[in-house]
Amino acid sequence: MKETIELSIDSNLEFVDMVGSVTKNVTTKLGFDDEDASWIELAVHEAVINAITHGNRNAADKQVEVRYEVEPECLTVFVRDYGAGFDVSRLPDPTNKDNLLNPNGRGIFYMRTFMDEVEHSLHPEGGSLVRLTKHRRSA
């Protein structure tokens, strides 16, 4: 059975910690161990920051919507912004030696490292959407 938690925040970095608190509560509910929980929290944090700064370009009138879908063995987090989206395939590889000293460009890489699935798409009703999925490890 799937449970859903949804929240919507203004494009303001001050609210990112609040989303982090919700993420921590959700991962605790699902029984993720501390290490997985902290990496999931960071992945969601990165997605929300991208939505605020890159998607919505910090526009005061644009929201970031976060939806958690909690299933017994799996957590899926959707982060939606109201921006134009971007081509993820064009992102430079931060681990390439030519990019190591780039101060930016690691957020999505971290998301992909810590989550089992990361998918970027355009939201059918406008804006862009990132889906983050993490499966609970078997004991």
Partner 1 sequence: MAQLNIKERDAGDVSILDLSGKVTIGEGSVQLREAVRRLLDSGKKKILLNLGDVSYVDSSGIGELVSSYTTTNNGGGQLKLLNLTKKIQDLLMITKLLTVFETYDNEEAAVSSFK
Q: Which of residues 79-98 bind partner 1 (CB under 8 A)?
A: 94-95, 97
Q: Which is nearer to partner 1, 38 or 133 (CB)?
A: 38
Taking CB under 8 A as the criterion, the residue among 61, 103, 124, 139 binding partner 1 is: 103
The rounded distance, in Å, linking the Cα atoms of 38 and 43 is 9
Q: Which stretch binds partner 1 (CB under 8 A): 61-69, 74-82, 107-115, 118-126?
A: 107-115
Nearest to 47 by CA among 71, 66, 29: 66
Q: Which stretch binds partner 1 (CB under 8 A): 22-30, 41-49, 64-72, 120-128?
A: 41-49
Q: Which of residues 7-26 bind partner 1 (CB under 8 A)?
A: 13, 16
Tokens (6 digits) for 130: 């990132």
Q: What is the dihedral of CA 26, 30, 128, 11, to 10 degrees?
A: 10
Rounded to the nearest 5 percent, the helix, strand and coil shares of the chain are 35, 30, 35
Q: Is 60 in the site for partner 1 (CB under 8 A)?
A: no
Nearest to 45 by CA among 70, 67, 18, 68: 18
Taking CB under 8 A as the criterion, the residue among 21, 28, 102, 121 binding partner 1 is: 102
Q: Is 109 in the site for partner 1 (CB under 8 A)?
A: yes
Q: Is 42 in the site for partner 1 (CB under 8 A)?
A: yes
